[in-house]
Amino acid sequence: MPDPKSIRAVAQRLLPRVDEMTNTMVNGYRERIPEYPRILEKHHEDVFEVSRAALLIFLQLVIQQRDATEQELALIRASGRARAAQGLTLEAMLQGYTIGREIAWAYVEKAAQEAGVDEEEISSATVVMAHFMEQLALMVTQGFLDHMKQAYEGEQHRMGVLIEIAKAMSRSLDLAEVVGVGLERLRKALEVEWAGLWLVSVEKGLLRLSAQQVDAAWDGVSVGDALHELSLLKPGLGKDSVAGKPVFYSGDSLPPSVIVTGARLLVIVPLLHRDRPIGVIGVASRKKTDLPPRDREFVVAIAEQMAVAIHQVQEHMREARTDFLTGLANRHEFDSFLRRELARAERFGDALSLVMIDVDGLKQINDDHGHKAGDEALRTVGATLKATVRALDLAARIGGDEFALVMPQTDRAGARDVAERFQQHLASTSGPDHPDVEVSVGIAQWDEGMTLDGLAAAADAELYEAKRSRAHATQQQEL
């Protein structure tokens, strides 16, 4: 029998609640992707049973501490193929599994915390889930591609290229590799000399060139070099690019900035996620002046595949850097960012401050009001930090009740001002619906010759002194 306080035992105890968990999952589908249950029901499939089967596989993986079997993966792949045949998009399938993961993990995490499972073991369980989700996404994608191959046998050449691109992209979560594979295959399939990708920078209102593939025979300025950045706000190529439809330029319609490259044809296709532009792919040629209808359709199909792949990679990158509960940076991203900024400060002599923050009495909040209230307290701290800091700064949750703020180009006085403003904003969030949240703060400014550990130790020392002073003041008030 597993230790009652182990994650395995927690998952075992959740088995009798599988129906409850499945109902929550199905409700999540109906609310967030209604087309998923609607399509299943249209084809006389039981949404509940389909969801329950996937949930049981995940719980068994945790209980038995194993990877998914070949048979289980084959079933998932077959499910992806069946859903695609029913008309469900790959994006909707992957989002459905993401919703299932969120709901399943919420149950497991809550039960684990209530059982007193060690945080390290909970973290290990997240790795199990992440690995399973990667396998699941790959199998669903492969199942989707199985259907695509069967459905488009008449377009063997084009579909062969499309499948090759999709498979290559589904094997990697590296953005440069995903984009590189897609652009190279696209350029060769259309027999054009240039292909490129721009990604949206929402903060700056720009499309910024992310990658380009150029034929070896293309000399001089490439289209990507000429159009490194495109404004989304001004009339012209940038605004046209995210209008939601492919744009074809040739002859007199070519923008002057493209004409100087020698290109005679430029095709721009937006990459959309839920009707929101995430980027643009383009192809250009100095030899061709038009694309036949089938090639135009092919570019759009590639764009749809690339949009799904790029969105998945971006989401994976975001999740890998983000604390699930608060939405702030996680410990790994904090460590990486602090190292980069410390190296920059050492090189250029810029100011750099570190603020360490500890939530006071989180255990008492959990004991008095429950873990839900404790989680809400942590979310409140995270949301208040987000609202207080500059875009230049990095706010992170680095432990259970520990937060940190890295402030480049900021001295101690500037960091103190921000910390005090944060505490004031946090105090103003108090209300009848949740307990008051108070924090202790420690600040350190980098000095020449100070190591990363030394900077952190200085901030920690001030933090612990602040906690000691606050505890002493509380004791005096109680006397």
Which residues form the catalytic set?
A: 401
Question: Residue 373: is it exposed, middle or buried by C-beta count within 10 angstroms (0-12/13-18/19+)?
Answer: middle
Identify which of 450, 455, 461, 444 has the alpha carbon closest to the alpha carbon of residue 335: 455
Per DSSP, 204 falls in state: T
CA distance 400 to 109: 13
CA distance 280 to 290: 19
CA distance 394 to 406: 5
CB distance 298 to 263 below 8 Å: no
User: 3-state SS of 206-218?
Assistant: EEEEEEEEECCCC
| Residue 372 dihedral angles phi and psi, to the nearest 5° | -60, -40
Helix and strand element counts for the chain (H, E): 18, 10
Q: Which two tokens stand for residue 89?
A: 């998009």
CB distance 164 to 188 below 8 Å: no
CA distance 129 to 31: 23
Residues 236, 287, 244, CA angle at the centre, nearest 5°? 30
**446 Cβ partners below 8 Å, 6+ apart?**
342, 345, 351, 352, 353, 354, 455
CA distance 218 to 413: 55
In terms of residues, how long is the chain? 479
